[in-house]
Amino acid sequence: MRKHKIRSGMIGLALILAPSIAQAQSADPLAPTGRWTANTDGQAATPPMGWNSWNAFFTDMDEEKVLASAQKIVSSGLAAKGYRYINLDEGWWEKRRMLVRTEKFPSARTDDGSTSFRPFTDRLHAMGLKAGLYSDLGRNTCAQAYMPDEPNLPRGNVREREVGLYGHIDRDIGLYFGEWGFDYIKIDGCGLRAYGPDSALVKSGRYRELYPILDLRDVNKSDIPAVRNLFEQVKVALARHASDGDYLLSLCIWGSANVRSWGKDVGNISRTSDDIAPRWDALLTNFDTAATRALYAHPGSWNDPDMLFIGKGDFDENHLVEAQSHFALWAMLNAPLLIGTDLRKTPPLLMDVFGNDRLIAINQDRAVIRRSSWIVRAISRRW
C-alpha cells in the first residue's frame, strides 16, 4: 500500500512537471533573455551628420558665415545625403540671461531689448536642416578658461559672464529647446575643471571659483557620480522641454570621469578624446580612443573622436589622400560626421570627400556591432 502511494505521488508529480519540462526542451537555448537598457532617447538611431562652426572660426563666427555654410550644405547635395545639423559653437553669448551677440546675429534682436535665436532656427528649419547650440556644464566655458584674450567672450561683470548651465540647467534647456527651437546641444566640461582655487583666472577675480570635479588625466580625481548627475539633469530637462523627442545631446568631457561606462545611458554622443588638430598624429590618437571603445557604441549613443578637420593642415586640398583617409576612418568608426571647415571656400575635391556615398552608407549602417571586432583588429595591426 505504501509503495502504491509513493508510486502514485511520483506519477502525479511527473504529470505536473511534464508541460514545463517539454516547454524548456522546446525553447531556443540561444534566445536572448535580457533587454536593451542603454539610452535610445533623442534622434541618434545613426551617427549624426552636419557642420560645426568651431574648427573653421573658433569664437569668430556670425550669422552670415553660418547661414552661408548651411546654404552650401543644401546646394551641394550634402543635406540630401544626411548632413542636417548646423551647430553653433562658442562665440554666440553676450552675457547671462542668455543674451545673444546681436552684432554677430542681427536676426536675434527683439523690440523689448531681449534677444531670441528663434528667427535663426526658423530659417534653418525652413531649409530642411536642424539647429545646434553649445554650452558648458559649469558656470563658465572652455574659451573663457583657455582663450582669455578672445574678443568674442561673454561681457559684463563676473556674474553676467557666467553663461554655463551650472545652477540653471532646466531654465536654460527650456530656453534653448522650448523657446528658441534648437534640436541639438553640445555640452563641454571645462567649467567643471578649470576654475579651481589655484586658477590664475580665479585668483585675478575675473571668475568665481568652482571646485573641480573633473580631471582629464586621473579618473580617481573626478567625482564621477557628480558629473554624471549633472548630465542626467540635462537629459531630464530635454525630456521636459523637447517633449517630441526631437533632440540630440552631445557629452564633451574628452573621455574623462569614466564616461565610457555611463555616457551611453545618458547622451547620444560621447567624446572619447581631447580636441583634434589638423595633423596626422593627432588624427591617429583620436581614432585610437574610439576604436578601442567600439562595443560602447550603439544606435542611440555613439563614440565621438571629435569633428572632421578636413580642409586644414594635413587634411587640406593639397593632402587629398590624408583627407580621404580621415573621412574613411571616421566612417568606419560610426563616428559623427560633423564637417568643421569654412564651406564658403571649400574646393570641389574636398566637397567630394564629404559626399562619398559608399562611406556614408558604412557610417549610417545600423548594424554597427557586427563590424566592431573587425575595426579593433584592423587598428591593432597599425597599418
pLDDT of residue 273: 95
Quick check: is 10 in a domain? Answer: no
Q: What is the maximum alpha-carbon separation in the chain?
A: 102
Question: Does the residue 131 lie in any domain?
Answer: yes
- The stretches in the chain having pLDDT less than 70 are 1-27, 30, 32-38, 368-383
The pLDDT, as a whole number, for residue 383 is 42
Q: Residue 367: its pLDDT value, please? A: 73
Distance CA 165, CA 138 (A): 6
In this prediction, residue 6 carries a pLDDT of: 45
State the CATH number of the domain containing residue 82: 3.20.20.70
Question: What one-letter code names the amino acid at 362?
Answer: I
Q: Which three cell numbers stand for residue 59?
A: 569664437
Structural domain boundaries enclosing 174:
42-381
Contacts of 82 (CB under 8 A, 6+ apart): 46, 49, 337, 360, 364
Residue 14 domain flag: no
How many whole angstroms separate alpha carbon 211 and alpha carbon 316? 41
Residue 97, judged by CB atoms within 10 A of its CB (0-12, 13-18, 19+), counts as exposed
> Strands 93-95, 99-100: parallel, antiparallel or unpaired by DSSP?
antiparallel
Taking each helix axis as running N to C, give the angle between helix 118-126 and helix 63-75, from 0 to 180 degrees, rounded to the nearest 10: 10
Q: Confirm whether 106 is domain-assigned.
A: yes
Cell of 14: 511527473
pTM assigned to the model: 0.87
128 within a domain of the structure (yes/no):
yes
Residue 335 · residue 290 · CB < 8 Å:
yes
User: Among this protein's residues, is 112 annotated catalytic?
Assistant: no
Task: Give the whole-angstrom CA distance, residue 123 versus residue 129.
Answer: 9
Examine residue 18 and state whether it is found in any structural domain, yes or no: no
Q: Within a domain: residue 24?
A: no
Q: Are 269 and 304 in contact (CB under 8 A)?
A: yes
Strand partners, 298: 301
Dump strand ranges (E) for the chain.
49-52, 85-87, 93-95, 99-100, 130-136, 184-188, 248-252, 269-271, 302-304, 337-339
Q: Which of 172, 188, 316, 342 is catalytic?
A: 188
188 noted as active-site residue: yes
In a domain, 63, yes or no: yes
Q: How many domains does the chain have?
A: 1
Q: Is the dihedral of CA 335, 339, 340, 346 positive or negative?
A: positive
List the one residue out of 319, 317, 309 whose CA is nearest residue 284: 309
Catalytic option among 62, 223, 275, 288? 275
- Residue type at 162? E
pLDDT, residue 294, reads: 80
